[in-house]
Amino acid sequence: MNVDLISQWRADIVGEWVEHFKGVDLLFLEPVTGRGPWTMSLRADGTATTNGGSSSDPAAEPPFPETWELSDDRILTLAVPIPPMPEYGMPAWSRERQSYDVLALTDLSLTLSDRRFDGETVTVWRRVNADEHFRRKAAQLLDFAAARNRAGSA
């Protein structure tokens, strides 16, 4: 995939996302019902927050943040802190890496598949903060236009 397109996707994936549809294939997606939808916040600095996080105990503050990265081959990886579980032979904090193929990314939606890694689920996420995203995109376009005008004037 084009490196410029991946760079743009890395910028565009930043935002607040909520699960909207889920299924075993793009042709068999259903609305997320029966439970609260998962949410995730992907920030420009590479940190993340998911409601599927590491611990429901607010006193159990992990020693490192949740993080995300998007590889050149369109794999989104979340690294989620996992609290100690001595009863299972895990005496210290650890990280669980969750990887997803990014099938599509638009201004309003993100489609992820864990097929390559788990073989189970396709999820379509809806952007929660679309207005913020469009303001950021507009600012990028204005910066691009200003740079082009400066280059044309030189």
What pLDDT digit, counting tens, does each position of 35-47 carry? 888 999 999 999 9
The two tokens of residue 5 are: 């397109």
What per-residue confidence (pLDDT) applies to 147? 80
Low-confidence stretches of the chain (pLDDT beneath 70): 1-3, 52-59, 117-119, 130, 133-134, 137, 154
What is the pTM assigned to this prediction?
0.76
What per-residue confidence (pLDDT) applies to 54? 43
What per-residue confidence (pLDDT) applies to 48? 97
Domain edges within the chain: 3-128
Phi, psi of 114 (to 5 degrees): -105, 15
What per-residue confidence (pLDDT) applies to 3? 63
Question: Which of 116, 128, 98, 121 lies closest to 30, judged by CA?
Answer: 121
What pLDDT digit, counting tens, does each position of 61-90 carry? 889 999 999 999 999 999 999 999 999 999
* 3-128 topology per CATH: Lipocalin (2.40.128)
Per residue, the 3-state secondary structure of the chain, as one string, reads CCHHHHHHHHHHCCEEEEEEEEECCHHHEEECCCCCCCEEEECCCCEEEECCCCCCCCCCCCCCCEEEEECCCCEEEEEEEECCEHHHCECCCEEEEEEEEEEEECCCEEEEECCCCCCCCEEEEEECCHHHHHHHHHHHHHHHHHHHHHHHHC
